[in-house]
Chains A and B, each alone.
Chain A
Amino acid sequence: MCPVLGHLDGRFESADAEAEHRIAVLYQEFGGPLLRHVRKSTGNDLQWAEDVVQETIVRAWRNSARLQWEPSLIWAWLLTVARRIVIDGRRRKSVRPQEVEPPEVDMMSVPDGSERALSAMVVADALRSLSQEHREVIEQTYLRDRTISEAAEILGIPPGTVKSRLYYGIRALREQLRDKGVAG
């Protein structure tokens, strides 16, 4: 399952064996949960998701000071590391024509009856309830795979303003979702 672990046969120096061991332990602890989460963002592309998990684990091992954090913080950090790797991959995979825009939230049709459709509608509702300024920066960054700088250029406002609006927008979105009972 993990190429990194392919050589636990004593040919390595002890430092390498130690590294292999630490990576194996990280896999054991976080590999499964990470894969379940990452698969959602790779559109169920399992091979891609496994690669992302592997890179996440290796980065975690390289930043071992952060592994001293409390478990909920380690987990939050690992999810963020993995998300970043997915986004990088997505950006590499697609050079999309700038003039073609994805559909607006309102245009997305979702079939009735599935849990996914339900939660997509709840999130869409929450997003619609935000102020225009807040909704806009969420749509123009994360939902379109754009960085703060790229979105700032498109919106014609300073990057610092995008960043700050994103902060308050995301906080407001979280409040909305919490009121709807779908956020912790």
Chain B
Amino acid sequence: MHDGVAAYVLGVLDEEEHEAFERHLDACERCQAELIELAELPEQLDELRNAPSSTSGDDPPMSMSR
């Protein structure tokens, strides 16, 4: 169960699992501590998502999916 903290912080769990993990989090100090450590990591990954291409600097993130 503890290894769900990464998937949780990235927001990539299915709805049901996401909620189950939150209930686990309520009672698990280890995962609470890891959540604090990892909380801003997804934003750093977003740098890749948002990295502007040379032609379209202001495009929203979705533009990369084409």
B41 contacts the other chain (Cβ, under 8 Å)? yes
Q: Does the CB pair A171–B62 fall under 8 Å?
A: no
Chain A residue contacts of B3, Cβ below 8 A: 163-164, 166-168
A contact face: mostly helix, strand, loop, or mixed: helix
Interface size on A, residues (CB 8 A): 64
Stretch at the interface among A6-14, A19-27, A50-58, A86-94: A86-94
Residues of A within 8 A of B7 (CB): 141, 148, 163, 166-167
Distance to closest chain A CB from B50 (angstroms): 6
Asked if residues B44 and A94 are in contact (CB atoms below 8 Å), the reply is: no
Interfacial residues, chain B to chain A (CB-CB below 8 A): 3-14, 17-18, 25-26, 32, 35-54, 57-62, 64-66
Q: Residues of A with Cβ closer than 8 Å to B?
A: 37, 40-45, 65-66, 69, 72-73, 75-77, 79-80, 83-84, 86-87, 90, 93-94, 96, 100, 102-103, 105, 108-111, 116-117, 119-120, 123-124, 127, 138, 141-144, 146-149, 151, 163-164, 166-171, 173-174, 177, 182-184
24 contacts between A and B (CB under 8 A): A40-B43, A40-B46, A43-B62, A66-B26, A73-B32, A83-B42, A100-B66, A102-B64, A103-B64, A110-B51, A110-B54, A116-B47, A120-B47, A120-B48, A120-B50, A141-B12, A142-B11, A148-B12, A148-B14, A166-B12, A167-B4, A170-B6, A170-B38, A177-B44
